[in-house]
Every structure is written in structure tokens, then in C-alpha cells.
Structure 1
Amino acid sequence: MPAENRTEIEPFEKMERRTAAAYVQAQLQKRIESGAFRPEERLPSEAELASSFGVSRPVVREALMSLQALGYTESQTGRGTFVVSDRISGALIFGRYTPAQIQEVRCALEVPVVQLAAVKRTEQDIGVLASLLGRIAETSDPDRRNQLDMDFHVAIANASGNPLFVMLIEEMRGILEDYTKELTKAPHRRGEARTEHAEIYQAIVRRDPAAAGQAMARHLEAGEAVFGGGASALSRVAAPDGSPA
């Protein structure tokens, strides 16, 4: 028989700069990966988790849906949510590349690219980026949304004025579209990504490379959190003068 949920829940870490659902998901995911919640063990109930985190039950429910989408848990009607794996689903390996490897490359490439775009962008570039953000918000087709998401990142590379950056990101397009598709299975990521894209766009509009780099790093870090990433993308961001941000 699966182990029953514990009557006491250890204190969770202080909330970071992310949505409540993302925070709850990240904390539970960390506990599962560390072995605090073991395979076949039932998680605390929605009510218990809501009380422990100080959030509403719909927030907890959204976090649990994300964990299930990533292959950590499964919901059993009338019984609760059970841990089924202490690691991310094997299906989330993109070709030969892990989510962590993809994130490392994206951080090394896309943060300096967006900083350069904030310096070199033209009014035409701003128009293209604004149009893409509008089209992303309007579409309800997940596949089309992922394509437009990738178009947004390519447009940032184009705004940098360096065609080699465009080529490098285009070369990764297939992998990144698959990666983004998996990311958006976590319900909270859809709304978060729109906000993060808007922050990146506004920094480019203001010609603020430091803010653009920080906004892109937060965007990438949010993906790391969904996939159980370790080191913060923000800690790897360099300021425009080359010093750590």
C-alpha cells in the first residue's frame, strides 16, 4: 500500500520572485527530487498544502497539474496525488540534449544577444517585436503559439544586427520549439511567459541593455525552475561591461 501523507509538513523556503503556483510547484518538486517525498507516497492534501504555503487551493491545484505534466506525480480519483518518479520524465530529453544543457546554451547565447539588441535595435525591430507579442497573445493554438514564441526570440537576435546570432538561434529552432511546448504544459508558464516577454520588450524599447539582460535571464530561469534547474540564470548574467550583474 502507498504510504500515507505526513501529518506535519516541514517549513518551506521563502517565496521567490515568481507566481504562487510556480513557487509551490518548485518547492514540491525539490522535495520530491531530494527524497523527502518518495515514489508511491501520497502528497499532503490540497487543503494541507494551501494552509502550509498560505495560498488558495486553486493555486495548489495548478502546481500539482504542473508536477503531473512533468511526470513526477499522478492523481488518483478519491485518493489524492501520489509521487511516481523522483526525476523528470525521460520523455523530456530533446534528441541528445537535456533541459539543463539547453538552458546553459540559451543563457550563454540569448542574454548577450538581447543586451546587444537593446543597444542596436531600430524602430522597425520594435515594430516587429510588438507585432509578435500581439499575435502570441491572440492565438489559442499551442503549436502556433510556440512558433510565434520562437519568432520573438529570433527577432531579438535580428535586432542585435549580427546575422550569426540569427543563424545560431535558427539552428536550434526545432529543439527550442519542442522544449517550449513541454514548458507550457505547466499551466502557470503560459501567463508568466507573456509577462516575461513584455519585460524583455520594454527594456529593448528603452535601450537598456542591463535591464534587457536581467529580463531575459529571469525568463530563462523560470524555465529552469519548471525542469528542476540548479544554478540561477541570473547568477550567470554579465553586465554590459563584462562584470557580473
Structure 2
Amino acid sequence: MFNKTLVPQSVAREIQGMIQSGQLKPGEKIPSQREFSQKFGISRASLREALLTLETLGLLKTEAGRGTFVASPATPASAATGHMAPWRYSDSHSVFDVFQTRILLEGEIARLAAGRLTQLQLDKMEQATRTMEECWANQDLLANVEADLEFHGLIVSACSNAMLKALYQTVRDLVTETQRQPIPITDPERMRESIAEHRRIILALRSNDGARAKLEMETHIRNTARCAGLEP
């Protein structure tokens, strides 16, 4: 039985495993939501959330009137010409607006976190960055993004401004989606650059250099937006 607070992530991981093991093959139509929800013993709402996550990561694709299929495996050659899933929050905020807000919010949060992160937190950020690198090499896309989210979350947790921290939590779902959204068109070189950017942010934070941490975070988010074809 899945942890109820982590049901969509747990189910997404299970389905990703089925794809990686070949139990679900490229081009194959996945079972109906009714069948899948019964298989995992979860609600259809939780299943839909898991499927949306996997679609955003490029592991599944939905074709109108036909259903949801396993996507073809991403390769370095095809990554640059891949396609991102539709932006799921388009009814409320554009992806451009979210990236622009992330630059403003997370840049300032990084500045205010400098000098407040413990050695343990900095070490956890280093580990999260290594995990991102290892999981990308293994194409464990869910774990790659989870490590990315942990990295950014650790910085938020050390921010000295409680209101900024609260604002971040109110937009966390949208922020999370911008961290997943570019994955299907991210080539290995961009992932290497992203990991290097994480390490420069850590260095600035270890040095208690708030101005540098802010600049490095803003640069990192701008470069991620560019990967998604945007110039915020």
C-alpha cells in the first residue's frame, strides 16, 4: 500500500519502473484509468496526477481520442527536437509568468539564505546535486527531478523572511512543473550545465555571499527557462 501523502509520486515511480523494465513498451497503449487505479488500489484522481507527471517528463504521451501511450525513449540526438507536454496551468498562469516569478522570488530567497544554511543542509544540497547527476545518467527522471526539488527546497527552508517562504509554498506546484517541463528537451550538455550551476550556488552559499547566491540562482533559472524556449 502506498503512503497516502505521496500516492501520485509513488504510483508514477511504479509506472516508470514498468516502462524501464519493458513491461510497458514504447508505443504501447497503457491500461485504462479504471484498470490502472484498481491495480494500484488508488483513486483515479491520484492516478491522473501520476500520469500527468510522467507525461510532463516525456515518458507518456496522450493522443486525443486514442488514449495514453508510452513515449519512445529519449536519446541525446532527439532531445533537442523533442516536444514538451502542454502546460497544465495555462488557465491560471503562463509558464513564462512562472519562470519570471521564480527568478524574482528564488533569487531573493537565495540571497537571504546565505549565512543561514547549516553544514548539514549544505551537505544535503551537495548530495542532491550528485543524485541528480547519477539519476540523469540512469534516466531515472522522477528521481532526478525529486533531487532538484530537494536542492531548491533546502535553500527556501533557510530563508530569513517567513513571508517569502510562505509565498514560495503557495506557488510550489507551479514551480515544480517548471522543473519538470523542460526535461523532454534537455540534452546531456544542458543537464551538465544545470548541475554545474547548482554547484556554483552551493559555493556562494558556503561563502555566505548573498549577492553572489542571488546572481547564480537567477542565472540558473533563466538558463532553465531558455531550455524551455523562453527568455524571461
TM-score range, shorter chain: 0.5 to 0.7
SS of 2:150's equivalent in the other structure is: helix
Residues 1-245 of structure 1 aligned to structure 2 (within 5 Å): 65-70=79-84, 91-95=86-90, 96-139=92-135, 140=138, 141-188=140-187, 189-231=190-232
TM-score by length of 2: 0.57
Deviation string for 1:203-230 (max 9, x for gaps)?
1011111221111111111122123323
**Contact 2:115/2:206 (8 A) holds in 1:** no
SS of 2:157's equivalent in the other structure is: helix
Deviation string for 1:27-59 (max 9, x for gaps)?
xxxxxxxxxxxxxxxxxxxxxxxxxxxxxxxxx
- Structure 1 residues 65 and 209, CA gap change in structure 2 (3 angstroms): same
The count of aligned residue pairs is 152
Displacement of 1:163 in angstroms is 4.0
Give the share of equivalent positions with the same residue, in percent. 20
Distance 2:133 2:229 in 1: 27
Deviation string for 1:108-127 (max 9, x for gaps)?
10001101111332323322
Deviation string for 1:163-215 (max 9, x for gaps)?
44333323333222222222122233322221111111111011111221111
Displacement of 1:69 in angstroms is 2.1
Displacement of 1:104 in angstroms is 1.5
Displacement of 1:64 in angstroms is 6.5
**Contact 1:120/1:159 (8 A) holds in 2:** yes
Deviation string for 1:48-87 (max 9, x for gaps)?
xxxxxxxxxxxxx9586324324xxxxxxxxxxxxxxxxx
Q: Which residue of 2 aligns with 1:50?
A: none
Distance 1:170 1:110 in 2: 12
SS of 1:120's equivalent in the other structure is: coil
CA RMSD of aligned residues (A): 2.4
- Structure 1 residues 129 and 111, CA gap change in structure 2 (3 angstroms): same
- Structure 1 residues 207 and 97, CA gap change in structure 2 (3 angstroms): same
Distance 2:176 2:231 in 1: 22
Distance 1:144 1:202 in 2: 23
Give the AA of the match of 1:202. Answer: L
Distance 1:224 1:101 in 2: 11
Gaps of 5+ in 2: 1-74
148-157 or 177-186, which moves further after superposition?
Answer: 177-186
TM-score by length of 1: 0.54
Gaps of 5+ in 1: 1-60, 71-88, 232-245
Higher RCO (C-alpha 8 Å, min separation 6) = 2
**Contact 2:125/2:154 (8 A) holds in 1:** yes
Q: Which residue of 1 aligns with 2:9?
A: none
